[in-house]
């Protein structure tokens, strides 16, 4: 018989983290918010992106923990770095508003652009608005119109209104470089 592959230490925490995340979700469903927060923290520390994102929301809302926007932003950033597109959008919001840390419109726009490329309609809209206004980025009405159109295709009614308002100013840009 062929030898079984060695179990790596890196694989075990991920499996343990997923199990802990499921326990945290069960605790949330049962209404035990403080136990859920402890378990979610453990799973997040074990590198589970979904747990990192959910823990960020718990800190943002004060759900099972004291409300702490700095911790909310920190865990949102970790989930975004792990590839969670919705966390990437939320990180853009933290930067745009200056919640939980410094306000930085350039970094807000960067995060919205990444999430917009991943198909997050709210980021498509926010990026379009920043491009239209020149907030944190160089104003670019054609690219703004492109992103408003993308958001409108995803059902954003406000984006559809902006498309109607901006369309006479010129045709929308093709997909931005790197989309």
What mean pLDDT is predicted for residues 107-135? 98
Q: Is the pLDDT of residue 173 over 70?
A: no
Q: Are 49 and 83 in contact (CB under 8 A)?
A: yes
What is the pTM (predicted TM-score) of this model? Answer: 0.84
Q: How many CB atoms neighbour CB 117 within 10 A? A: 18
Residue 168 DSSP class: G
State residue 176's pLDDT score. Answer: 61
State residue 42's pLDDT score. Answer: 97
State residue 33's pLDDT score. Answer: 95
Q: How many CB atoms neighbour CB 52 within 10 A? A: 28
């Amino acid at each position: 018989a062929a030898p079984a592959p060695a179990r790596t230490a890196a694989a075990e925490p991920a499996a343990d983290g997923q199990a802990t995340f499921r326990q945290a979700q069960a605790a949330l469903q049962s209404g035990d918010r403080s136990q859920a927060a402890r378990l979610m923290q453990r799973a997040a520390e074990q590198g589970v992106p979904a747990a990192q994102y959910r823990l960020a929301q718990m800190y943002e809302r004060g759900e099972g923990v004291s409300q702490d926007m700095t911790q909310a932003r920190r865990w949102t950033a970790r989930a975004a770095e792990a590839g969670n597109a919705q966390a990437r959008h939320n990180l853009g919001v933290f930067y745009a508003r200056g919640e939980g840390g410094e306000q930085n419109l350039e970094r807000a726009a960067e995060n919205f652009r990444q999430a917009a490329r991943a198909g997050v309609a709210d980021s498509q809209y926010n990026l379009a608005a920043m491009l239209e206004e020149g907030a944190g980025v160089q104003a670019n009405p054609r690219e703004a119109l492109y992103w408003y159109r993308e958001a409108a295709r995803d059902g954003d009614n406000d984006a559809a209104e902006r498309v109607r308002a901006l369309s006479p100013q010129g045709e929308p840009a093709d997909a931005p470089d790197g989309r």
